Amino acid sequence: MSEFVQQLINGFSLGAIYALIALGYTMVYGVLRFINFAHSDVFMIGAFTGYYVAPTVTRALAAHSFLAGVLVLLTAMAVCATLGIVIERLAYRPLRKRPTLTVLITAIGVSLLLQNTGQFIFGANPKSFPKLYVQTNFTLPGHVIISSDQIAVLVIALILMVGLRYIVLKTKVGTAMRAVSFNPTAAALVGINIDRVISFTFGLGSALAGAGGILYALNYPSIDPLMGTLPGLKAFVAAVLGGIGNIPGAALGGMVIGIVETFVAGTSWSTYRDAIAFAVLILILLFKPAGLLGKLQVEKV
Amino acid sequence: MKKLILRFLALILAFLLTPVGCKQAASDTEGSVIKVGEFASLTGKEAAFGQSSHKGTLLAIEELNAAGGVIGKKFEHIFEDNQSKAGESATIVKKLISRDKVIAVLGEVASGRSLEGAPICQQNKIPMISPSSTNPQVTEIGDYIFRVCFIDPFQGTVMATFAKKTLKVKNVAVLTDVAAPYSVGLANFFKERFAADGGQIVLEQKYSSGDKDFKAQLTAMKASNPEAIFVPGYYTEAGLIVLQARQLGITVPMFGGDGWEAPELIQIGGAAMEGTFYSTHYSPEDSAPAVQNFVKKFKAKFNGETPDAMAALGYDSAMVLADAIQRAGTTDGPKLREALAATKDFSGVTGKTTMDAARNATKSAVIITIKDGKFKYVETISP
């Protein structure tokens, strides 16, 4: 029983990170109807921003490790948001009126550009991510152990997701985002600045990826320029699983993938963890082609 | 029209003849130096291994050349990086042999990548010396493949003995990297020996190189109550594994093989690495004059960096090759191969090297522990 609860905690903390990345995929898909494959590399940039910023910040704020941690997180989010906006402005906006396939290929190109620039600037060797605070373990009843990193992941992911929900549902720019997602032409007709909304969406999604990068690096403190590929792929699967374009769906999908993966890895089938996570995707799509929470849209010809 | 065809034929003839002339000119310059190829993981996941080994080889070749080389010729060292990636090594070794015309190949640390390069050396009858690939399969590729380190059956035995006698444990769990032949081999030899000695493997879990999350496997291990955990993988994952095990409240001793030997292990694992053990080929704390002399020279060349086992083996691999060329009196493949196979009691940094019938070196192993964030020598276990 305690093993089960322990695996559940492990799965949730892994799934929360997938969910944060998945939100970026799903938001961009929601407004632009294309998969931003460079998203997983923005996640990597988030981790590396933390790697370079953390030593200075922790030295300056040695007495306030909580504040230092928050500052590192916010810096990474800001850097990633800027990067996301710049990528959209330079690579995707000129192709706005072209077929989706053109943009998709460009996204793969941007992804490779970021990976290889990363290898060139940061070096291809794995680096150890600095510790932002003193590690502690908390023992829950039944010998279940939760580490401070896992708590950080769960709490921060929850705060960010609630914040995102607030922005999307209650603010003016969130309403504009939903309008653009629903019908871009009509949104433009009623005076919504589509370019600005799309920039904002990219910034928001990339900021979440940046936060995901920091949380991932905190839990698995070995980072390298290709670290984004696999988590990015899983998060993409999570987004599709939950129903692409659907924000709560991405969060749910991330959790499902994280938990399935963890439970598989805990058995003697551990080498098939990725295969089974993808098999779950296929199964769910067979019965619910639009994903768990997605609505099937009939394309009119 | 006829004239045109004739001219065309003349042109073709000219083309056919020129390469021959070039080749002769090239082989003239080749005669004055001995070209040695090296393939290593200079960047990427196992860069710490490749860099160490490469630095050791560099130092050896520099020393040999300073002493005037062998058989009246100096060495030319041609090295290539395989980025720690699978699939790159075969291409690189092909390039070294066919384009650079090396007379011998040194490399690799990781058994998986040595296994890629070895068949090409064997086909071309170019001797290959692996400095530190410990999987038995490497030299089984053919009679041109050698190594200057011990092999995993021995390392497995050493760790089984260590677990039983020094750690005094009976129930051990094993976490194997199924994507690395090194790890799979070492795990198997350890399990065989440990079971034969009356120990019990309570659980074996698996992962693949490049994984970052091991909490699921470790949680399952914790439930099976082992007295120690054996992790026969490479340092990138080993650091994360030990770290996550401690986070899950697993306090039993953890130990591994020579794949752990890199400063990155402590950087990644941090304080969690305290009190873990691994077996390796040599310790810089060894008081033998050959070792201390090597450590001094290495530190002088590489900004005070202390050479690890991979560096010492990289150094020895080049020295063993030079010794064989000296004895053979030629760099001709088959003769050099025979001289290498006849290597006996060659005194190197990592002890005396003697090639056995299967072209493996028989050597003793040392156990290292991590204390106060530093590698500390524990004991030497002889074959």
Is residue B220 less than 8 Å (CB to CB) from chain A?
Answer: yes
Query: Is the previous residue joined to B108 through a cis bond, with omega within 30 degrees of 0?
Result: yes
Q: For A264-273, write each residue's pLDDT tens digit.
A: 888 877 788 8
Q: Where along chain B do the CATH 3.40.50.2300 domains lie? A: 31-150+286-364, 153-280
For A23, the domain range is 2-287
User: For chain A, what is the mean pLDDT?
Assistant: 88
Q: Which residues are registered as beta bridge partners of B104?
A: B36
Nearest to B49 by CA among B321, B208, B268, B234: B234
pLDDT value at position A245?
81
For residue B160, give every residue at least 6 positions away whose Cβ sits within 8 Å of its Cβ, in sequence order, or none. B190, B193, B194, B197, B199
Q: Which residues of B touch A268 (CB under 8 A)?
A: 204-205
Q: Which residues are registered as beta bridge partners of B380?
A: B366
pLDDT value at position A41?
94
Which residue numbers in chain B have pLDDT < 50? 18-29
pLDDT value at position A296?
64
Handedness of CA B15, B16, B22, B25 (dihedral sign): negative
Segment 108-167 of chain B within 8 Å of chain A by CB: none
Site of tokens 């760099």: B331
Q: For A106-142, write each residue's pLDDT tens digit.
A: 999 999 999 999 988 988 778 888 888 777 888 888 7
Task: Give the C-alpha separation, A120 to B58, whole Å.
Answer: 24
Q: Which residues of A touch B251 (CB under 8 A)?
A: none
Task: Give the C-alpha separation, B115 to A86, whole Å.
Answer: 45
Amino acid type, A251: A
Q: Note whether B130 and B317 are within 8 A (CB).
A: yes
For residue A61, give every residue at least 6 positions away whose Cβ sits within 8 Å of its Cβ, in sequence order, or none. A67, A68, A71
Element housing B74 (H / E):
strand B74-81
Task: Give the C-alpha separation, B279 to B214, whole Å.
Answer: 23
- Six token digits for residue A208: 């979440």
Domain B31-150+286-364 classification at class level: alpha beta
Residue A135 and residue B247: Cβ atoms within 8 Å? yes
Q: Give the burial class of B9: count Cβ atoms within 10 A of its Cβ; 0-12 exposed, 13-18 middle, 19 or more buried.
A: exposed
Nearest to B98 by CA among B129, B66, B123, B73: B123
Distances (CA, A) of B304 to A211, A296, B54, B286: 38, 65, 16, 17
Residue B247 and residue A145: Cβ atoms within 8 Å? yes
pLDDT value at position A297?
63
Residue B222 and residue A271: Cβ atoms within 8 Å? no
Handedness of CA A184, A189, A194, A200 (dihedral sign): negative
Measured from the Cβ of residue A191, the count of other Cβ atoms closer than 10 Å reads 7
Is residue B54 less than 8 Å (CB to CB) from chain A?
Answer: no
Task: Give the C-alpha separation, B154 to A120, whole Å.
Answer: 40
- Six token digits for residue B167: 């750690």
Task: Give the C-alpha separation, B160 to B152, whole Å.
Answer: 12
Q: How close is the nearest chain B Cα to the Cα of A278, in Å?
A: 16
Let me know if residue A141 belongs to a domain: yes
Please give the model's pTM, rounded to 2 decimal places: 0.80
- Best of B204, B206, B219, B222 to disrupt the A interface by mutation (most A CBs within 10 Å)? B219
Let me know if residue A295 belongs to a domain: no
Measured from the Cβ of residue B337, the count of other Cβ atoms closer than 10 Å reads 22
Task: Give the C-alpha separation, B312 to B55, whole Å.
Answer: 9
Distances (CA, A) of B260 to B180, B277, B279, B370: 14, 9, 9, 11
Is residue B201 less than 8 Å (CB to CB) from chain A?
Answer: no
Let me know if residue A221 belongs to a domain: yes
Q: Which residues are registered as beta bridge partners of B229?
A: B173, B254
Task: Give the C-alpha separation, A300 to A283, whole Å.
Answer: 27
**How many domains are contained in chain A?**
1
Site of tokens 């900004």: B303
Task: Give the C-alpha separation, A9 to A140, whole Å.
Answer: 11
Nearest to B314 by CA among B153, B77, B88, B121: B77
Closest residue to B219, CB basis, from A3, A216, A227? A3
pLDDT value at position B97?
87
Q: For A1-11, write each residue's pLDDT tens digit.
A: 678 888 899 89
Q: How close is the nearest chain A Cα to the Cα of B187, in Å?
A: 16
Is A214 a residue whose pLDDT tops 90?
yes
Q: Note whether A266 and A7 are within 8 A (CB).
A: yes
Please state the ipTM of this predicted complex: 0.83
Residue A145 and residue B248: Cβ atoms within 8 Å? yes
Q: How close is the nearest chain A Cα to the Cα of B88, in Å?
A: 15
Let me know if residue A300 belongs to a domain: no
- Six token digits for residue A142: 């039944």
Residue B240 and residue A14: Cβ atoms within 8 Å? no
Residue A230 and residue B210: Cβ atoms within 8 Å? yes
Q: For B213-244, write each residue's pLDDT tens digit.
A: 898 889 888 888 899 999 998 888 899 999 99
Counted across chains A and B, CB pairs separated by less than 8 A come out at 97
Let me know if residue A298 belongs to a domain: no
Q: Note whether B183 and B204 are within 8 A (CB).
A: no
Q: Note whether B73 and B33 are within 8 A (CB).
A: yes
pLDDT value at position B27?
43
Please give the CATH number for the structural domain made up of B153-280: 3.40.50.2300
Amino acid type, A120: F
CATH number of the domain enclosing A167: 1.10.3470
Task: Give the C-alpha separation, B255 to B233, whole Å.
Answer: 10
Least-confidence region, from A34-38, A101-105, B23-27, B223-227: B23-27
Site of tokens 């009939």: A298
pLDDT value at position A130?
86
Q: Which residues of B touch A128 (CB under 8 A)?
A: 239, 264, 267-268, 270
Q: Which residues of B touch A139 (CB under 8 A)?
A: 249
Residue A270 and residue B216: Cβ atoms within 8 Å? yes
Is residue B332 less than 8 Å (CB to CB) from chain A?
Answer: no
